[in-house]
Structure 1
Amino acid sequence: MRDHDTAPHRPGRRLTTRETAELLGVKPETVYAYVSRGLLSSRREPGGRASTFEAGEVEALARRNRREAAGPGSGGDLSVRTRITLIERDRYFYRGVDAVELAARHSYEEVAEWLWTGRPAAGVRFTAPRDTVEVARRAVDALSEHASPVDRLRVAAIAAAAEDPLRFDLSEEAVLNTARTLIPTLVAALPPVLYDREDDGPLAHRLWGRLSGRPADDASLRVLDTALALLADHDLAASTLAVRVAASARAHAYAAVSAGLGVLEGPLHGAASGLAHRMLLDVLDQGTAVPVIAEELRAGRRVPGLGHRLYTGEDPRARVLFELLERVPRAESALLAARDVVATTARHTPLHANVDLALAVFTASSGMPATAGETIFAVARTAGWIAHALEEYGERPLRMRPTGHYVGPRPPRPLPE
């Protein structure tokens, strides 16, 4: 018998105090303590003096106790086995390969293929069907001018899904074909700022013209392409977990990506680089980080772009991007502002710069809006979302189903007047 296995109880069967204590692995006195705390309900049978307990309620409490016994951070029932990304000792790896080295030597599209298949794909380029792009553009163009980049990407994904009669085919090859056309469709559907580039060049080249009104130089394009590759995946971030939940319910790839985009729009996930971008502009305007940092802290806000819960030391993604940005002459002033932010906060709290601050240096120095970092992040992370959806399609359906712990009033209650 496996640990914690119990024989199924008949519906409506009630347990004695001794049976309840055995099932919960506690003493009888503890069972009555659970009753007094509202965690269990009891009743006395007619003609009897001992209390009895509903079997289903006892089993639910036993499951909850097992999850809590696993300890904080264990994930409990939400622990997910994955072969995609490993983060340890201030480094991270895509399918066992150092992600930083991979991004330094390969384009975003090549890194995406590695995440999806574990096979090299030298020189791969993602292209989208012209008809699908036109449908997605019309849908995006119908949005208000105040729509956020993530709004536009979500609408583009939905429009592309509606044009794909094969979207419900969840075979690996079908999902891969979807991925290779969805990502360039998302980029092509964004309104162009500088020019509408229709070539089949690297995705970073096409994305640049939708983020900046300045002509692109090779050094800046290298930063953008590397940023896309570095941000392609980062284990089970909130948006990635949402994608896996959708895939567990067998939502098609477009819907799974839409779930990720929905979570990404939260201010605690995708918007961090935009906050850092605005902070850097304030530092450049003031000439020093001191009053800007003081105002952030006075308002009760964390200083954006600093620290990361998964890295005790330096965020490896930030380190790589800062090194590349040093080769971009027009990024010098924003780099100095970022270093001023780090040095100013280090007087009291020594925190390392994270990828959001590095991304903010890039967007602020490239003539891009504050929302550009969020766009880069969303396009980049779509590759990781697809990888996780593919992995989840190979698991048991609907396994992402944690058990709720009800803490409301115990039934039965009278109907409200």
Structure 2
Amino acid sequence: MVEAMLQDLFDDVVERNPGEGEFHQAVREVFDSLGPAVRKHPEYAEASIVRRMCEPERQLMFRVPWVDDAGEVRINRGFRVEFNSALGPFKGGLRFHPSVYLGTVKFLGFEQTFKNALTGLPIGGGKGGSDFDPKGCSEGEVMRFCQSFMTELYRHIGEHTDVPAGDTGVGRREIGYLFGQYKRITNRYESGVLTGKGLGWGGSQVRTEATGYGLAFFVQEMLGAAGTSLDGRRVVVSGSGNVSIHTIEKVHQLGGTVVACSDSSGFVVDEQGIDLDLLRQVKEVERGRIADYADRRYGAELGRGGSIWDVACDVALPCATQNELDADAARALVGNGCRFVAEGANMPTTPEAIDVLHDAGVRFGPGKAANAGGVATSALEMQQNASRASWTFEKTEQRLEGIMRDIHTLCLTTADAYDLPGNYADGANIAGFTQVADAMLALGVV
């Protein structure tokens, strides 16, 4: 009966949100885990908690007009989905990319709600962004767009209401322009209204590194629970942006060897281990392609055909984009001996691929748990802003490592409590859901 009820609810979600495939996928993945929780807690069904949790508290879509360097007026769409504030103010990043539409933001906000709950910190879930592409734009164009975007967004956010951060296409530069316009409009230096700020104006140590470092800490715990460690392990990390680079850095510090990484143009295999200084020079300084790394690194080879998931490894960490690891890629990983997969990006593994991994006994760490380090450190930034304090790098990293260890433990203990031993995906979904559901019950029908 519970499964039939969840299927009816899912059908209703699809009908009420047509054309939003990523959102449907995110809801489906959570619903597939919820049967045991709803059977154990019938009050969730009686109070329509599951249905209410699939409906954002507020969905904002607005026009963003701005003037380019040629004097032409451009128009983009801005979005902010304030999904759930049962545990605290809405919290989640802003994504600037041409692919962004309402369905993208809703899927990210839905995932963010459970991810934030797993951190144990008092933050709700939200997400936002625009179909604006900062690539190829001048500094002045990026600034004028951000100022126009914030001129609408400012009325909906606040340190006790909704706290955006960065995401794809929104780095420290964009956060600076957004914060400057917020300060200008409101006449308040409200540091806690945005996270991901520069260190000299309210930012936190480790925030840049947090998602990648947190992923590596989570993987370290996964291997420890299996009676082994990262020491000497071959690791593949997709992508070569901020998350991937800091994942590679921390994996190397923990004793693993990252032998492959990628970008949208292809992948590179480096059996000596990825040279982090060269990768940073190519990707962060020169804004080059992965082929430039291969050209300048002795012994490195550019992938010829296939995908990065064809590279033999013990640990695979998809850190690029959603649905990058499909069923065929999962079968290739299994065939080459991979035993651990953890998500650094949001929903990079398709449902079919997850089934392949589970059937093969591969331990799989879902993104809402494994990549929660970014938002966890954002919440630590909020804590520092509220107390007018500034922590050292060492203290902040120590807090991050402790949070990731606690998330790992929560996933496993929750899975055990529902007779799903070792199932990180179900453990994460149930743990995040029950924390939000219990708070919603306590707050009444609001």
On whether the aligned pair clears a TM of 0.5, the verdict is no
More strand by share: 2
TM norm structure 1: 0.23
Structure of greater relative contact order (alpha carbons < 8 Å, 6+ residues apart): 1
TM norm structure 2: 0.22
Structure number with larger C-alpha Rg: 1
